[in-house]
Amino acid sequence: MYVESTGIQVIETIEELQKTLNRNERKDTTVGFVPTMGFLHEGHLSLVSHAKEQNDIVVMSIFVNPAQFGPGEDFESYPRDREKDLRLASEAGVDIVFIPSVEEMYPADGGIRILPGRQADELCGASRPGHFDGVLKVVLKLFNIVDPDRSYFGMKDAQQLAIIETFVRDFNLRTAIVRVPIVREEDGLAKSSRNVNLTAIERSEAPAIYQALQSGVEMFADGANPEAVERQVAEGIIANSSGKIDYVKILAYPELGPVTDDTEEIILACAVKFSSTRLIDNIIMSTKDGTPCSE
């Protein structure tokens, strides 16, 4: 453990963090946890803001998790900036930053696997086999290490959020999952660490994704069927950007199954591939009054 010049406490080992956050010694002190892969932006800082409002101590992890990257994906090139991350975390009011090495998190492999259910077969999971296995692996380890009262996840990664909520519920993990709305640029593009990989032209085109989703939500609220909405959204993205559609889909949320008469919330989600990066976005909407839930 050491303290940065900014005053933030930095811990790099599991043993030290568990000693620091020992639940038996917390008494009435609550811990809010913000897991990240670093390269912080306003979306991450929004998670911190919510955590600070609801807890006495805010812990952030910064760990680029190799277990959730598939062959040919961008693990090595994933953006990293430790010095900037620590400065932003300190300014946002984070108390402890946990920055373990890959060797610290994964010192050995005993072959035990955590397999997500059918939720992982939709959306991003359909084209990224094994991705959510790696997400649940690191999330479970981090929950066990930090033992937080509340954990904060952004709604931009809505499939990840749905799977983690289900995991926590079904396996009686004692942290509460708090949903935090998407943070967007002024032109509507969802904040993402990967946005820096867009070319200038792609960056100017990227807001078309959110614009198309908005038009799709309006269509659905007016009674259009899911297939027509998906087609219209895809056509809007193709017409206004050079991105290639990975998927555009409407599903019940958080079940990520077909929309039925009993569905209370739906997600309209998409993934779009540009030259060197893949962007995801979504809008979650109540089927009762058409109110967006992820904004």
- Residues annotated as binding site? 37-44, 68, 154-157, 160, 183, 191-194
What is d(CA 1, CA 28) in angstroms, rounded to the nearest whole number? Answer: 24
Provide the 3-class DSSP secondary structure of residue 70. Answer: coil
Catalytic option among 17, 33, 44, 207? 44
Q: Say which amino acid occupies 68.
A: Q
Binding site as annotated, residues for (R)-pantoate:
68, 160
**Measuring CA to CA, how many Å separate 91 from each of 80, 85, 88, 104?**
18, 10, 5, 27
Binding site as annotated, residues for beta-alanine:
68
Helix, strand and coil in the chain, % to nearest 5 = 40, 20, 40
Binding site as annotated, residues for ATP:
37-44, 154-157, 183, 191-194
Q: Say which amino acid occupies 241.
A: S
Answer yes or no: are the C-beta atoms of 116 and 165 closer than 8 Å: no
Task: Locate 214 and state its tokens.
Answer: 């908005």
| Number of other CB atoms surrounding residue 119 within 10 Å | 21
Residues 6+ apart with CB under 8 A from 250: 216, 220, 226, 229, 230, 259, 266, 267, 268
Q: Is 44 a catalytic residue?
A: yes
Closest C-alpha to 36, from 1, 74, 88: 88
Query: Is 65 exposed, middle or buried, given 0-12, 13-18 or 19+ CB atoms closer than 10 A?
Result: buried
Residues assigned a catalytic role: 44
